Structure 1
Amino acid sequence: MTEHRTHPQEAQILALIDKGLNNAAISELLYCGPRAVRQVRLDNGRPPAARNSWRHAHPKEREIRQLLGDDLTDAEIHRRTGADPSTIADRRRLMALGPAPVPKAKSRPHPREAEILAELRAGGTNNGIARSLGVDKVAVARIRAAHEIANTYESRRTARPPVEERWREHAREVDGGHMKWTGPRATNSSGTPVLRVHGSWYSAAGLAFRIRTGRDPVGQVRAECDVKHCVAPACVEDEPGRQALRRTLRRIQGLPNPPTGTCPNGHDLTEDGRLDGQLHPYCEGCKRDTSRAKKQAAKTT
C-alpha cells in the first residue's frame, strides 16, 4: 500500500474549499494545478464543487483591469502581474475591450543612419543620398520621416536641350532659302516631318512657325512655298495666316472678294469660308461633312 503524501498547500486549499470556491478558482489563487485541488478534495472527503460556485476575485484584479484599460497586451500584463493569460483574456472579454493589441516590432537603427541624417540635413534628396552612400532610398525616406525633415526633389534631365535646338539638328537649308527635313516622318502616306522630344511628338512645320512667331500655331501648319514639306520658318503658316495671305494675293490679282453669308448647305462662310492653294473659295464645313460621311460609309461596309 502506497503512503499518502499531503499537498504542501493542503491547509490553504481546504480553507478555500470550505469557503465554497471551486477547483479552478483555488488553482488561480494559489498557483497550483486544478488536479491537485481535486485530489485534496477527494482525500479529505470533501464533495465535488459545483461549476457555478462563487469565486474570489484575483488578488491583482484592480491592477489587471487598470492595465487592460491602458491598452497593454496580454503578455505585458502577465509579465507585470503574474496572472494567467486565460484570466487576463477573461477579464478583457468581460470588460468588452475587443481583441488584444498586437505588439509592435521594434525597428533597428540603420547602420549608416548618422551619415544619412547628415546628408538629409544638408539638403540631399532621397535618390541622391541612396546613390552616393549605396543604401536603399526607402530607408532614407523612413529616416527623413522619423526626423521630420522636409522632402527635397531633384530635377530630372536638367541638361535637356530645348525642343527648338532638336529641331535645328534635323533642318537643313537648301537653295532658295528653303529647308529640308532630315529627321523622322509620319508613318502614314503623307510623310509629314515630325520630331519626338521628351516622349512627345511635334510637327516640324509647327515648330518652325513657333520659332518665327514666338507663339503656338492655330490649326494645321503647312508650307506656302512650292517646295513640298519645306520647314523653313519663313515659308510656313498656320490656318489664320495662310488664309490672310491668300486673301491678300487674291486682291493683288484683282479677283473679286470671296462670297459671304452662307453656303448652299447652310454653313456660315464667315467662319467656314476658305481659299485653296489656287485662291479658289470653298467651304470648310462642307468639306468636313463630306469627310465624315466617307468615314461613316467605310465603317458600315
Structure 2
Amino acid sequence: MTTETRRPHAQEAQILELIGKGWNNAAIAERLYCGKQAVREVRRAHGLPQAPRSSWRKPHPKEREIHQLLEEGHTDAEIHRRTGAQPVTIAARRHARKIPPALVPRPAARPHPREAEILTALQAGGSNNAIARELGVDKVAVARIRRDNCIPNTFERKRAEAPSLEERWRQNVREVDGGHMEWTGHRATNSSGTPVLRFLGSWYSPAAIAFKMRTGRDPQGQVRAECDVHHCVAPACVEDEPGRQGIRLTLRRLQGLPDPPTGTCPDGHDLAVDGRLDARLHPYCEGCKRDTSRAKKQARTTS
C-alpha cells in the first residue's frame, strides 16, 4: 500500500516524531497507546528502517560508570566487582564501543623451593629431564627456570657447538688416487650401499653436499658421480640431473651424433621434460621408464 492510497493514522505525526528520535515500535506503541502494527505501517509507508537493536536495551543504573571503567582499560571481572553489573552486560557495552579485551597482567611465579639447586644444575649443562630425575622435581618447573634465566637447552647448545654440515662431510671422506674421494661414513642398509650422512637428526646425501660445495646452489634431481669410481663423492666428479644431461649431450655432439628427438614419445610424454641420455649416450624417455617401474611394483604388490 502506497502513501497516496492509505489512510493516515490519527497519531501519525506523533509516531513519526518518536521514530525520528530512534524509538522502537514497542516503545512507541506503549507511549501512544496504539498498536505495534500501526507503527509498522507508518514505518513501511514512509520507507523508514527499523530501530536498531540497541534501542531495546534499557540503560544500566551504572551505565556511565561502566563506560568510564571500560575506557580506563579494566577487565570485565574488575568492572563487575566495582559496579555489580553482569559480565554479559559489560561485554555487550565493550562490543558496542569496540573496546578490545583488557590484558590481564600475569602474576609473577613464586620461587621454587629448590630453585637455587635447579639453577646450579642448569648452568652446569644438565638437561631438564635429567635434573628433574636427580632432584625429584617437576620438569615443567625446570623448564620455567631455564626460560626465566635465558639458559639455552641441551639441544640448542649441542647444535651451536656442533660442526657445520661441510665439516662433517670432510670428516668422513678420504682422498684416493686420481683426485677421487671415498666415503668412509655411513651407507644405506640396502644392497646399493649409497653413502649417507646423519646430521642433527636428518639424513643427507654426501654427493649432494659435494655438489653444493662446488656450485654454491642446491642440486636438481639425483646427484651421482660421472667418473669411473663407484660412489665417488669428490666435488669435481658429481653432477645433478641437468648437469649430467648437459655433459652427455656435449659428448654426443662431439661424436658426430644427431641431437636427441624432440616432441613426444610414442606414449605421449613430452621429451622436452622427460627426454634423457643414458651413460652410453642413447636417448630414452624418463616418463616411460617411470611408468614401467610403477607397473612392475604394482604387479608385485597385487600378486
Q: TM class by shorter-chain length?
A: 0.5 to 0.7
**8 Å contact kept, 2:146–2:152:** no
Q: Could you tell me the percent identity over the aligned residues?
A: 70
> Structure 1 residues 116 and 257 mapped into 2: Cα distance closer, same or farther (>3 Å)?
same
* Structure 2 counterpart of 1:253: 255
**C-alpha deviation, 1:253, in angstroms:** 1.5
* Structure 2 counterpart of 1:184: 186
> Structure 1 residues 298 and 153 mapped into 2: Cα distance closer, same or farther (>3 Å)?
same
> Structure 1 residues 280 and 156 mapped into 2: Cα distance closer, same or farther (>3 Å)?
same
> Structure 1 residues 109 and 229 mapped into 2: Cα distance closer, same or farther (>3 Å)?
closer
- CA RMSD between the two structures: 3.5
> Structure 1 residues 222 and 135 mapped into 2: Cα distance closer, same or farther (>3 Å)?
same
1:300 to 270, 295, 302: 302
2:246 to 239, 244, 247: 244
**C-alpha deviation, 1:267, in angstroms:** 0.3
Q: Which has the larger radius of gyration?
A: 1
* Structure 2 counterpart of 1:230: 232
**C-alpha deviation, 1:156, in angstroms:** 2.5
* Structure 1 counterpart of 2:157: 156
2:282 to 280, 283, 295: 280
> Structure 1 residues 150 and 179 mapped into 2: Cα distance closer, same or farther (>3 Å)?
closer
**8 Å contact kept, 1:126–1:140:** no
How many residues of Structure 1 are paired with residues of Structure 2 in the alignment?
A: 187
Structure 1 residue matching 2:161: 3-state secondary structure: coil
Structure 2 unaligned segments of length 5 or more: list them. 1-80, 82-108, 121-125
TM-score, normalised by the number of residues in structure 1: 0.54
Whole-Å separation in 1 of the counterparts to 2:278 and 2:257: 14
> Structure 1 residues 225 and 110 mapped into 2: Cα distance closer, same or farther (>3 Å)?
closer
**8 Å contact kept, 2:119–2:145:** no
Query: Partner amino acid for 1:205?
Result: A
Structure 2 residue matching 1:291: 3-state secondary structure: helix
* Structure 2 counterpart of 1:49: none
* Structure 1 counterpart of 2:273: 271
**C-alpha deviation, 1:108, in angstroms:** 8.4
> Structure 1 residues 150 and 109 mapped into 2: Cα distance closer, same or farther (>3 Å)?
closer
Query: Partner amino acid for 2:157?
Result: R
> Structure 1 residues 170 and 273 mapped into 2: Cα distance closer, same or farther (>3 Å)?
same
TM-score, normalised by the number of residues in structure 2: 0.53
**8 Å contact kept, 2:226–2:238:** yes
> Structure 1 residues 203 and 112 mapped into 2: Cα distance closer, same or farther (>3 Å)?
closer
